[in-house]
Chain A
Amino acid sequence: MSTIGFPASSISNHPSTIANNQGLRLIANLSGMNLNSVGDTIVNVQNIKTWYPLYLIGTNASTNLTTAAITINTGANGTGDNLFTTSLVGLTSSTAVIFITNSGNLSEDIQRLYFRCTTAQGAAATADFWVYGWDLGFLS
């Protein structure tokens, strides 16, 4: 006799049930960002009033990124607060990952980020990016 068990993972004894998600969490993400053209892509911040960006993670490059670079700012065309600036040369394949820490010390309350390709790859190229951080707005 064989038994098929569903679901694959079931957790029932965890005492913590916090509905408002105050953890290190995703603030914004962009899949398949075009890295062959200098310009902005507007990305909405996910459901936070006030937040602090901590990390940028990039991966899933469509090709070996030998040239491309990006910034993430709170304003268009590289204006506002600069949260991250990085070359993407570490993204040599779809499984490579870059992990960048924000060195700033400002909280943000804007609801859009501008992911900007500042240096084009020179050939068709995309990658995925995630911004993680703290939600500081739930107390107010």
Chain B
Amino acid sequence: MPNLGPAVTITNHPQVWNINQSLRLLASLKDMNFSQIQETKVQIIDSAKWYPLYMVLSNASVNFTAIGAAISIYTGPNATGNHIFGGTPLATHTNSRIVNQINVNSGTRANTATDIFIRSDNNTGIPNATLDVFIYGFDLGFLP
């Protein structure tokens, strides 16, 4: 029988995955706008059942200290469905380099929604106030 070689080969960059059973990105939104109360529908990345762990926020476009912005995330529109995160005040984002990692709000519930609704909870009146939003968690749906 021929030598089949090593089962795993690691070159100089180990991050080459073809599968995604890890703590991984579930959804993201660049430049979420916090000028007014509104929501943005974002698709869950390829997961039939998932468990959110962290919301990571960064890349503030303005100083959020005093504008009164807050964020929340639900699985349904208009603050319905499962309340996953928030409403989290955003005053710590004084510049684009600040990172805020927030733990899941409802910690014992798996979700099957294919979309989430990222909400700006307040009217700030600042038209160019934006943040990047990343949702990380576990994919629980890949088992047959």
Contact = CB atoms under 8 A, between A and B. Distances in A.
A84 interface: no
Contacts of B96: 107
A114 to B, nearest CB: 19
A126 to B, nearest CB: 20
Interface stretch (B41-49, B62-70, B118-126): B41-49
Given A18-B45, A23-B20, A47 B15 contact: yes
B112 to A, nearest CB: 13
A42 to B, nearest CB: 16
Chain B interface size band reads: 35 or more
| Dominant SS among interface residues on chain A | loop
Given A16-B45, A22-B25, A134-B136, 19 more contacts: A11-B19, A14-B142, A15-B141, A16-B46, A16-B139, A18-B20, A18-B45, A22-B28, A23-B136, A26-B14, A46-B13, A47-B13, A50-B58, A50-B59, A105-B98, A107-B58, A107-B98, A134-B134, A140-B59
